[in-house]
Amino acid sequence: MRAELLNRKLSLLRELDETIDFSKSTIQIEIMFVFMISKEKMTPSKLVELLDERRKAVLDALRKMQLKGIIKKEGEEDGEPVYALTETGEEYSKKLMEVLGLKEGDHHSSGGEVEPNREKIAVLKRMIGLYHIYNAIVYLANTPENKMDLHKLSSLVGLSPERMKSYLDAYSRPPIRVFRRSSSPVSRLTFYKLEKEGWNIYYRSPHYLQLKEDPISRVRMKVRIKLWRFKRQREMLLLVFFPIKLFFSFISLKLLSAMFAFATFTFLSIIELLIALFSP
């Protein structure tokens, strides 16, 4: 039952993230919190005061949310536009409440005031953490041997190894053991693989259904995981290529001519550019 609830929330998170990118649009999520909590229309000045954010950042977030159809303008107040949730925004708000385990009235304070920012941020972190767990499940389910080291997994998900580890370890022990952690005494790497609960979540996820029905998406996922290794090789290659380029250009300048040194430098720069452009 708890695994089914987690799977439901992870699926909703993926759906919500398609509208507002959790990793890049924190202010938009916080604005959604304000609308959820206050149940009132808002002006930019009011949002700036409540969120303690720069006015420009709030205005930019409002513009993007309006383009997505989440909010709309409803008149003016003191020379400022007044914003309210659209029907799409109301639906988004309900799904967000379900993900957070909230019910009507749970997110209102006794005085009708908006909750302190730190409480909203704590809830937001909880939500984002579940989303990253979902991504980790998808990558582990589609990698060879269904096992991956922490560094590689964190790179694919887009987190630091330390932060990724904190999320994974929280679900590597009862009562919901989604991952199994192991260490290699030789390489000293930490590996994670899916436990039975993790596979249950994956097989009931919309991502699995999409990959199952769309061979192209499945191949794209596997290719992305495979190309991670080449990406690391590219980074190392570019790291050592620049001093090599300078060295050969210097030798050409000393032994031959300035024109030949310039040609050498240009040729090696083109090779470096090609490595950066065409490697994954």
- Residue 218 domain-assigned (yes or no): no
DSSP assignment of 3-41 equals HHHHHHHHHHHHHHHTTS-TTT-HHHHHHHHHHHHH-S-
Neighbours of 36 (CB within 10 A): 22
CB 198 within 8 A of CB 178: yes
Distance between CA atoms of residues 72 and 53, nearest Å: 21
234 and 152 in a single domain? The answer is no
- Residue 220 domain-assigned (yes or no): no
Total domain count, the chain: 3
27 and 66 in a single domain? The answer is yes
Name the CA dihedral angle for 224, 230, 236, 240, rounded to a multiple of 10 degrees: -130
pLDDT on residue 238: 61
103 and 9 in a single domain? The answer is yes
Identify how many contiguous H helices and E strands the chain contains and give both numbers. 12, 5
168 and 78 in a single domain? The answer is no
What is the CATH number for 199?
A: 1.10.10.10
87 and 137 in a single domain? The answer is no
pLDDT on residue 19: 77
- Residue 155 domain-assigned (yes or no): yes
247 and 201 in a single domain? The answer is no
pLDDT on residue 130: 79
Distance between CA atoms of residues 95 and 93, nearest Å: 5
pLDDT in tens, 251-276: 776 677 777 666 776 777 776 666 55
177 and 256 in a single domain? The answer is no
The low-confidence residues of the chain, meaning pLDDT below 50, are: 1, 109-117, 278-280
- Residue 97 domain-assigned (yes or no): yes
- Residue 114 domain-assigned (yes or no): no
> What is the extent of the structural domain holding 52?
2-107
Kindly give the interhelix angle for 2-17 and 206-213, rounded to the nearest 10 degrees: 70
266 and 184 in a single domain? The answer is no
pLDDT on residue 6: 60
